[in-house]
Chains A and B, each alone.
Chain A
Amino acid sequence: MSDSLIAITGDDFVLVAADTTHTRSIMVVKESGEDKIMELDSHKLLAASGDNGDRNAFCQYVQKNSALYRLRNGTPLSTRALANWTRRALADALRKHPYSANLLLAGYDASPTEGKPGKVSLYYIDYLASMQQLPFACQGYAGHFLLGLLDNGWRKGMTREEARELLDKCIEQLQTRFVLGAPKFAIKLVDKDGVHVIESADA
């Protein structure tokens, strides 16, 4: 809950931001430097919030199974397929050994026809295994502060600069108004050329 994740899609990119703190209840284990956005494969990002242990274990599980699929079938899973697989994994675990992890999964899928542009997608998946594809999304308390701002500021077909500007406004709001507004956010972007680290999580 105290972790903040924000993601914004354009026509051909997804911008994903996550705070970089590691906290346990009232204690700050690490103020910055925690990378919560995992690169699942060359063209997918999985940002996760929640308990550090569950977050890491679950994200690594998704990442390794994504790789296994790719090696078995010679081609990676589409973002939609992987999102559904991830949701199913959370749902199956929910009434047995639940993972307390909230996720934002973003990916670029090349077009099956050569020469045509691919498409990007963003999926919101929460710890109760509900899932929704969205143009922009938040996890954690951040949503309380930012969804209004994003509703107003997001347009279809935003450029990367516009999206970054909107994201910066969001982060500024968190840092002003949210008692747990972290000083440092990591920012990554995924597009047809793969995953790009815009702001590293490293302190």
Chain B
Amino acid sequence: MSRYDRAISIFSPDGRIFQVEYAQEAVRKGTTAVGIRGDDCIVLAVEKKSIAKLQEPRTVHKIVAVDDHVFLAFAGLTADGRVLIDRTRVECQSYRLSLEDAPSVEHVARSIAGVQQKYTQSGGMRPFGVSMLVVGYEIDGQPRLFQTDPSGTHVEWKANAIGRNSKTVREFLEEHYEAQRGNAAQLAVASLLEVVESTRSIEIAIVKPNEPIRFSH
């Protein structure tokens, strides 16, 4: 088996690409992130990693803007995430330069997934150890939430969690989403509290149509 996990561009005999699976394992080690498509807003919430005493807390950004109307949170290797985020920012401006229109949230998610897929198939480089939750409102007012992962897929969700203990959080969401979707911020915090110590370890951002994103710590 171990013969098939060296190079990224080789399948194992049972049809798996080990490097992609190992990358997904790296994501499972990252701090948890939750995304919820609520009735009147979209919410992103992340677990704040506990930091060393001497470390400045404000230099870690897990929820970022990639364009004026598209935001994302990621789980996994922070440095990989930074690289992907920068490429996405350039892609958004490039889209605006060519088409004189804002890119749709779906386009952005697809472009991130496309980059992640490239690294599963060529060049001898390892995949990005990152999953992303990409959110925003489309031009027609529809809220969108997409998840990308190291294999290069992008899938739309009503609510999802990534990173460590994401299974627990996702099960909580499955149970409470329908009832609580009108109160997405509360739901996000409640779902994260299933797996983190206290609300002090949660950072949350709320996206509403045509409004700047609001952060709460």
Contacts and interface: CB of A to CB of B under 8 A. Distances in A.
Contacts of B94: 64
Contact of A64 (B65, B66, B86, B97): B97
B67 A71 contact: yes
Interface string B86-109: 100110111011001000000000
Contact of A72 (B68, B89, B97, B100): B89
A71 B97 contact: no
Nearest to B96: A64
B97 A60 contact: yes
A61 interface: yes
A68 interface: yes
Interface residues of A, number: 8
Interface in A58-92: 60-61, 64-65, 67-68, 71-72
B96 A71 contact: no
Contacts of A68: 89-90, 93
Interface in B103-125: none
With a 10 A CB-CB cut-off, give which of A65, A67, A68, A71 has the most chain B CB atoms: A71
A76 B98 CA distance: 22
A72 B93 CA distance: 11
Nearest to A66: B93
Contacts of B90: 68
A68 B89 CA distance: 7
Given A72-B86, A72-B89, A67 B96 contact: yes
Interface of B: 65-68, 86, 89-90, 92-94, 96-97, 100
Q: Which A-B residue pairs are the 5 nearest by beta carbons?
A: A64-B93, A68-B93, A64-B97, A71-B89, A64-B96
17 contacts: A60-B100, A61-B97, A64-B96, A64-B97, A67-B68, A67-B93, A67-B96, A68-B89, A68-B90, A68-B93, A71-B67, A71-B68, A71-B89, A71-B92, A71-B93, A72-B86, A72-B89
Interface of A: 60-61, 64-65, 67-68, 71-72
